[in-house]
Amino acid sequence: MTTTTYSISRSSTVTRTAAVVGILVVAGLIAAPWWAGRADMRLLSEMFLYLSLACLWNLLAGYAGLVSVGQQAFVGFGGYMLFALAIFAGVSPIVAIPLAGILGALVAVPVALLIFRLRGAYFAIGTWVIAEVFRLSFAQISALGGGSGTSLPVAIVRGMASNRSMREATTYWLALGMAVLVLVVIYMLLRSRNGLALTAIRDSEVASESFGIDIWRHKFVVYIIAAGLTAMTGALIFLQKLRISPDAAFNVNDWTAFVIFIVVIGGIGTLEGPIIGVIVFFLLRETLSDLGTTYLLILGVVAIVVMLKAPKGLWGTLKERTGLELFPLSRRVVKNKSDK
């Protein structure tokens, strides 16, 4: 006699294969200092840092509905905290990175309490205004170079590693580790009960509230987590550059507009979307950057075409048509048959 039972499963052959491939890719990337050139490592580091920023913005906008155009506030804040801790407190730059993240999360608390009073477009404008306040405030701090900025002292840079190659390898590994950390944190968050609540909020805030989900609390937690990790990413960005200025640290084009482009192209509200978006963005940038301002016009046209033809992004459209998923986040009912 054959009996049928049902169970809930998240993993599939595709997700298990993707996990193995992902581990192999990360292992290969860890070994990059032994097989890649200096320019390749710098490009890969930049990709990892943009991937971190894109995943965090996607968590805010794609899951919590917090469309921020002022995330450069925490990128710049993290960068300045790294320089301040290293120059004035004598903290090692590597130790200063997580400290910058903690300080970023702490400063995000009063910011969140203020801008969470705003809704929709007013929230987005409010985040941009906050970022401008940060930029103007740091431009007034003469100890950090004021409006012209400052460089990391040579003694601190030399203290990181014995030679330039080792320093570049260290910053590369830190950038790779940052991207992996952000992906793991977001993945674990989305698999938890809080992640289930966030998915419900993404689908319908009204329905979520009717089921007793505390929308404000979940959004607040997501905002603080995103701010802290964005500040850590910002610290890493300017550790690579070794120089910081208000205009570079709080640049809306570099740290928010390009990040939004990456998420929109890849697929907002999916964990795979920012990965696809980063690959597409850097392919376009490396191919078209010699065209000058025309390159930015082409990026704009690409974004408009994708938003018109595939509003859910490249990965979102593929997922909608095929049900393909690389990260096991969805739950599915599995039919099991057994003989008794």
Inform me whether the pLDDT recorded for 164 exceeds 90: no
Distance of CA 152 to the CA centre of its chain: 25
- Cβ contacts of residue 277 below 8 Å, gap of 6+? 54, 261, 262, 263, 264, 265, 266, 267, 313, 314
pLDDT level of residue 338 (50, 70, 90 thresholds): low
Of residues 232, 281, 250, 296, the one with CA closest to residue 104: 232
The Cα–Cα gap between 131 and 70 comes to: 5
The predicted pLDDT at position 296 comes to 83
Examine the pLDDT at 77 and tell me if it is beyond 90. yes
pLDDT band at 136 (very low <50, low <70, confident <90, very high): very high
Angle between helices 72-88 and 215-241 (to 10 degrees): 50
Q: Are 147 and 246 in contact (CB under 8 A)?
A: yes
* pLDDT at 84 > cutoff 90: yes
Look at residues 148, 165, 146, 176 and name the one whose alpha carbon lies nearest to residue 236: 176
Instruction: Give just the sign of the alpha carbon dihedral 34, 36, 42, 43.
Output: negative
How far apart (Å, rounded) are the C-alpha atoms in residues 298 and 286? 13
Of the ranges 47-56, 206-215, 218-227, which one carries the lowest mean pLDDT score? 206-215
The Cα–Cα gap between 158 and 175 comes to 19
The pLDDT score that the predictor gives to residue 1 is: 64
pLDDT, the chain, mean: 88
Distance (Å, rounded) from C-alpha 176 to C-alpha 318?
Answer: 27
Nearest 10 degrees: CA dihedral of 222, 224, 229, 230?
A: 100
- pLDDT number for residue 339: 64
Torsion of CA 246, 249, 250, 253, to 10 degrees: 120
Task: Return the structure tokens found at 144.
Answer: 């950090």
Using CA atoms, how far apart are residues 297 and 112, in angstroms rounded to an integer? 34
Percent with pLDDT over 90 in the chain: 48
Per residue in 245-278, pLDDT (tens digit) is: 999 999 998 899 999 999 999 988 888 899 999 9
Confidence check: pLDDT of 120 > 90: no
DSSP letter, residue 257: I
Point out the least confidently predicted range of 35-39, 162-166, 252-256: 162-166
Lowest mean pLDDT segment, chosen from 74-83, 153-162, 253-262: 153-162
Per-residue confidence (pLDDT) for residue 191, from 0 to 100: 85
User: How many Å is the Cα radius of gyration of the chain?
Assistant: 21
pLDDT of residue 166: 87
Take residue 194 and report the two structure tokens written for it.
Answer: 């809080």
Is pLDDT larger for residue 107 or for residue 195? 107
The fraction of the chain above a pLDDT of 70, given in percent, is: 98
Q: What sections of the chain are H helices per DSSP?
A: 13-30, 32-35, 38-58, 72-88, 93-115, 120-139, 154-160, 164-191, 193-203, 205-210, 215-241, 246-249, 252, 258-266, 273-288, 293-309, 313-322
Residues 59-84, mean pLDDT to the nearest whole number: 91
Q: What does the pLDDT average to over 73-77? A: 95
Summarize the confidence of residues 99-108 as an average pLDDT.
Answer: 96
pLDDT digits (tens, 9 = 90+) for 277-332: 999 999 998 888 777 778 888 888 888 888 888 888 898 888 888 888 888 777 77
275, 68 contact by CB (below 8 A): no
Nearest to 302 by CA among 313, 317, 293: 313
Cα-based distances in Å from 328 to 15, 171, 309: 6, 31, 27
Query: What is the per-residue pLDDT for 291?
Result: 79
For residue 204, the tally of other CB atoms under 10 A from its CB is 11
Q: Provide long-range contacts, Cβ within 8 A and 24+ apart, for 21-25.
A: 22/326
Please determine, for residue 134, whether its predicted confidence score (pLDDT) is greater than 90: yes
Q: Decide: residue 293, CB within 10 A, 0-12 exposed, 13-18 middle, 19+ buried.
A: exposed
Best CA proximity match to 315, nearest among 257, 264, 281: 264
Full 3-state SS string of 102-123: HHHHHHHHHHHHHHCCCCHHHH
Question: Among 40-49, 96-105, 144-153, 158-167, which stretch is predicted with the lowest mean pLDDT?
Answer: 158-167
